[in-house]
Amino acid sequence: MVAAVFAGSWRALWQRFRPVDRLTAGYTLAFAVGVVLLGRDQPRWWVWVLAHLLLLLAIVVVVGRWGERVKGASGFVRLLYPAMLYPLFYREAQIAVHWIFPGFLDHQIVALERAVFGVDPNVWLGPAQSVVVNELLMLGYFSYYLLLPVVALSLYVKGRSEELSALLHATTAAFVISYVGFALYPLEGPRYFLADRFSAPLAGWFIVPLVNWIVGNGAIHGGCMPSSHVAVALVVLVWAKRTQPRLAAVLAPLVLLLFAATVWGRFHYFSDVVAGWGVGIAALWLTRSRQTRSRRVPSGQTGIDRIASPALAERTS
């Protein structure tokens, strides 16, 4: 009898978990397990394990107490807490970069790109740089930090909680895949590996120094393959197009500039960008919920729109 009561309680709690909650909680637990199995050479590694177990408990409490909340402070935290954890997850990915390989593998990517292009694309672009072009492209790169907040908060304010959760599910998947990629194929990036081949740093008035400050103080050393910037920007743009077309029309040029800026600014190899596109498409496809996979796709959708359509089909069915 007691077992049945507890089983019922756990089932009720599990039903409160949206797909994004399950992915966020699963990644939190998986990282703790990864530290135990692969990261015990990290100083005070047990602190990371304990912190993640406490974070997992906090997620369970938030979902358990505010499972259906969509308004007020509790609804804000309930719906948007996964996005609030992204900076933490990104920073701690640094710990896992060398779990598998002790060094970086940039020489392999550089050799590949030289074989394909005959040059190093990052270096080849150098002579074309100018202050105006640098500022414009770095504006696109900087927009990355605003894309998700703008689209997510817009959906929240409009009360479109299902679409907001679906958006965060896809972006969380893109981040998770990217962080696994950082460990499976660690690269430090052209701004380190090819540093001696650049004749001068990027020149700029305001945006270039701002981006350099953000990257210099916030970027991890080794988070290049794939480009999480490209993957997440692609996911956000697709969801913006499906849920807020006018907003997507404004964001699209910035995202295109961002794609180019990752190579132009020497943050990523061209290969990282291609991998980022693949991760973004994979994240959109993988996060289609089981409940909506078989539902009708609204007429008029083609191409990549269909990847993001299931949650929208739920609203239109």
The residue extents of the domains of the chain are 1-96, 100-317
Q: Given this model, what pLDDT does residue 128 score?
A: 87
Asked whether the predicted pLDDT for residue 315 surpasses 80, the reply is no
Percent residues over pLDDT 90 in the chain:
68
Asked whether the predicted pLDDT for residue 238 surpasses 60, the reply is yes
The span from the CA of 130 to the CA of 80, in Å, is: 39
pLDDT band for 73, please (50, 70, 90 cuts).
confident
Asked whether the predicted pLDDT for residue 297 surpasses 60, the reply is no
Percent residues over pLDDT 70 in the chain:
88
Task: State the helix-helix crossing angle for 72-96 and 19-38, rounded to 10 degrees.
Answer: 30
- Residues contacting 7, CB < 8 A, separation 6+: none
pLDDT band for 8, please (50, 70, 90 cuts).
low
- Residues contacting 63, CB < 8 A, separation 6+: 13, 16, 17, 21, 78
**pTM score of the predicted model:** 0.86
Whether residue 85 contacts residue 24, with contact meaning beta carbons closer than 8 Å, is answered with yes
pLDDT in tens, 80-126: 999 999 999 999 999 999 999 999 999 999 999 999 999 999 999 98
Q: How many CA atoms lie within 13 A of 302 on its CB side?
A: 1
Mean pLDDT estimate for the chain: 86
Q: What value does the mean pLDDT take over residues 255-280? A: 95
First to last CA, the chain: 40
Asked whether the predicted pLDDT for residue 3 surpasses 70, the reply is no
Q: Which of 141-155, 188-202, 228-242 has the lowest mean pLDDT?
A: 188-202
Q: Given this model, what pLDDT does residue 121 score?
A: 93
Asked whether the predicted pLDDT for residue 293 surpasses 50, the reply is no
- Residue 131 neighbours by CB distance under 10 Å: 12
Phi-psi region of 293 (alpha: psi -120 to 50; beta: other; left: phi over 0): alpha
